[in-house]
Every structure is written in structure tokens, then in C-alpha cells.
A and B are shown apart, each in its own frame.
Chain A
């Protein structure tokens, strides 16, 4: 058993090379260990004090969110709220204030839960993941990163250091809506994120939709943009709702049956599409969308 607090990124990467596992907030790792899901790794390196992972900055190519940025920071950041609103919606729904104070975007992405709340937003916003090891760094598409529940293509000595998001076109909006039975410490029964760009006449020009908790990983609705282009937001929502239910391949478990999940993910996708279009038109809808529209409210 060994535990070290890394002071620099290089120190952390060296520890990973030597076999340690990273811990940031520990909100998944420690709870999982205490529940007996997976024992605590015998060697841990704490990465929660690394300044290199704590930057949230504008770049020439959009924005770069350090892997150590917490959900609490994401949901309150003016740049995320205004331009990458679906990500703020997702971050604001994670756990409780305590979870959001400790839990990080990097941890959420690399934990690779198919029910994660930041995953579908990141996918519709076109995020890519920066992975680094002592040997070098690479950039990975989300669809190339997640391979199954808790499974990624990252090697054991690789660390997620940042998430990069491209700039947002004018007249764009995004939203993430999830089905939940309670408002705190909840895991998505199903969830859907949508991102749209509107044309001058208020119809949809381009759009994308991704779904949570209906497949072994977060999945994108392929061909969504072609389905919604030229349609009004209401028509687009109807089409996307049906398409989302079609591509969903959910399991039945203690939270919901597969049939219920397949139906409700269509409802969530339609609501996400409508909320994204309203935000794209300049309307202020609070974060998270769930609370802004009320539980069970139609949108």
C-alpha cells in the first residue's frame, strides 16, 4: 500500500508508470471500494492538487477544460453557462453539492459510466479528450475512448489531462435533460443531450443528439443532423424522439425496465432538442434544465 500526493504532472505520470492509480475527488473510487465493488488500488497517486489540471481557458480552437475541474466549477463558470450550456446542465445534476465539490470532469469521463451526466453533453458539443503518459500525449475522440461500462481504450499509465471543446457557432444552443426519480444523489434512469444551430428563419440548420444509460456507453444518434435540418424545433423534437428510442439498446435493472427506458429516452431527447433550440434563440432557461422546467413538466 502506498499513497503519494503529486505536486507536478510529471510526478503523477511517473507514479502511473510505476503502477499507481490516480485519485482526484475519489467519489467513485472510494465509494466503490467501500461497497466492495472493486478493492482500493494498492498504490494511489493523488492528482487533485495539480495546477496543470485546474485550468479552464479559452484557446484558439475553442475552450480547454482541465481534467481536475470540478462539477461545481463547471456549473458556475460563465463561459460554460453561456456557450456550452448542456455541460453545465449535466454537471449541475451530478450527485449532491458534496459530490460536485470533489468530483471532476476528468474522473467522470475516465470512469466511463454509461449513465454519466457529462458524457452526452460532451459528445454533442464535439469534445475530444487529451490523454498523457510519461511517453507522450494523444488526443482521442469520445467515441474512440469509451468501449463499455467502466472500460476505456486508455492504458493504465495514461492520464486524462484535459477535455477540449470546439468554438460554438452563432445561434447555437445546447441542453441535457435526464429522467430522475429524485433530485439529489441520483443516477440517470435515462438522459439525452442536444445541440442545435438555428437558421435565420428559426428552423434548425444543424443538430446533434447523444443518449445516456441506454447502451454500454454513451451513444450518439447517428444522422441526427440530417433528420432535423430545415425543421421547426417542435417537428425536429418529434423526429429525434422517435430516432432516439430506435437506437436505444437499454438493459432492465433495478432502476427501470428496458421498455420504459426505450420509451422515456425518446421523451428526454425531444425535451433536450426543444430546450436547446430555445436557448439557441436567445431565451434564458435555467441550469439544470430539469429544475428549470420542473419534474415531469412538458417542454
Chain B
């Protein structure tokens, strides 16, 4: 039996008809067509699927889409302004914080969630804020530097 509901993603309402057991990640990617959010481990370990739910980072792979009804979902597609890159996106590129790029959408969502609550985080607070996101390429230092620079330049 499927459920009919409306999901609000990046301030746009999407009517969907889905099975109760579907995760938010799969619905975002396959029903709504927003493929910026990635599937890594499908187990809440890696953070590639991170979205903001009412402003707070959440692993969309392990969250039922039906639970998001009436809540505000933000994905990486909603981060980029019409006229170029979000400052964090630009600075991640400048600092070399992007290599293969697979973790980047999740990193951006965790970092934005952190900076929204805490505009001037310490290095330790940035580390904790990104502690649910794995990166196999960069060694993290450049990502941490990019988030710190984004905060200081805001």
C-alpha cells in the first residue's frame, strides 16, 4: 500500500506516491529527480546522503520519506544561488577540498547546518560538525580549512 503525501524540498512542494518503507534519499533521487544527494554506505556511516531537515543535518538514507511530510528538506541543489556558487562551494574549490566530489554534497549540508547554528565555530566544533561525513580523498584538512574560511569571510 502506498502513501500519498507532499514533500517540501528546497521550498518547492512535490506530491509523491510512495511505499511507507522508502527512504528519503531514494525518493529525492528517483521520484523527485534531485540527484545531488548521494548514496554511499546506506547505513548512516558516511554522510554522503546528508540533507537538512528543518535546518538540521540528517542522514537521508536512514530516514523514512513519509516522516518528512510537513517538514522542510534542504538538499545541495538548494544551496547554489542563481548567479554562481555558494561561498562554501567556491572556497572548497579554492582550498582543494574537493577531489572526487562524492562526499562534497553531504559535507556542504553538514557544514551549512553547523554555520547556520554557529556562525563562528572553533576548529574542534567544525570537526564535530563534520564528524558524520567521510571523505576518502582529501584527508579532511582542506575541507576543515574551507569551512573555517567560509565562516571568517561571511
Assess whether A97 is in contact with B129, with CB atoms less than 8 Å apart: yes
If A1-B20, A34-B61 touch, whether A99 touches B44 (CB-CB below 8 Å) is: yes
> Which A residues are CB-close (under 8 A) to B131?
96-97, 183-185
> Which A residues are CB-close (under 8 A) to B132?
95-99, 184-185
Q: Which of these binds chain A: B51-59, B75-83, B142-150?
A: B51-59
B97 within 8 A of A: no
Assembly CA distance A46 to B63 (angstroms): 12
Assess whether B47 is in contact with A44, with CB atoms less than 8 Å apart: no
Residues in chain A within 8 A of chain B (CB atoms): 1-3, 5, 23, 26-27, 30-31, 33-35, 40, 44, 46, 48, 72, 95-99, 101-102, 183-185, 291
> Which B residues are CB-close (under 8 A) to A5?
67, 69-70
If A26-B62, A97-B110 touch, whether A185 touches B3 (CB-CB below 8 Å) is: no
Partner of B19, one of A1, A34, A96: A1
Binding site secondary structure of chain A? mixed
Assembly CA distance A3 to B3 (angstroms): 8
**Chain A min CB distance to B34 (Å):** 19
**A-B pairs with lowest CB-CB distance, top 4:** A96-B132, A184-B131, A101-B56, A3-B20
B107 within 8 A of A: no
Assess whether A98 is in contact with B47, with CB atoms less than 8 Å apart: yes
B66 within 8 A of A: yes
- Can you name 16 A-B pairs with beta carbons within 8 Å? A1-B1, A5-B69, A34-B43, A34-B61, A44-B20, A96-B131, A97-B129, A98-B132, A99-B44, A99-B132, A101-B53, A101-B57, A101-B58, A102-B63, A184-B131, A185-B44
Assembly CA distance A35 to B44 (angstroms): 11
If A26-B62, A98-B59, A102-B58 touch, whether A34 touches B42 (CB-CB below 8 Å) is: yes
**Chain A min CB distance to B69 (Å):** 7
The tally of residues in B whose CB lies under 8 Å from a CB in A reads: 33
B33 within 8 A of A: no
> Which B residues are CB-close (under 8 A) to A30?
23, 62-64
> Which B residues are CB-close (under 8 A) to A35?
43
Partner of B57, one of A1, A46, A48, A98: A98
The residue on B at minimum CB distance from A183 is B131
**Chain B min CB distance to A3 (Å):** 4
The residue on A at minimum CB distance from B131 is A184
Assess whether A23 is in contact with B64, with CB atoms less than 8 Å apart: yes
Assembly CA distance A102 to B44 (angstroms): 12
> Which B residues are CB-close (under 8 A) to A291?
124
Assess whether A3 is in contact with B113, with CB atoms less than 8 Å apart: no
Assess whether B63 is in contact with A185, with CB atoms less than 8 Å apart: no
Assess whether B67 is in contact with A95, with CB atoms less than 8 Å apart: no
B21 within 8 A of A: yes
Partner of A23, one of B42, B61, B67: B67
> Which B residues are CB-close (under 8 A) to A34?
23, 42-43, 61-62
The residue on A at minimum CB distance from B49 is A98
**Chain A min CB distance to B22 (Å):** 10
**Chain B min CB distance to A35 (Å):** 7
B45 within 8 A of A: yes
> Which A residues are CB-close (under 8 A) to B129?
97
If A23-B64, A96-B47 touch, whether A40 touches B57 (CB-CB below 8 Å) is: no
B50 within 8 A of A: yes
Assembly CA distance A184 to B81 (angstroms): 32
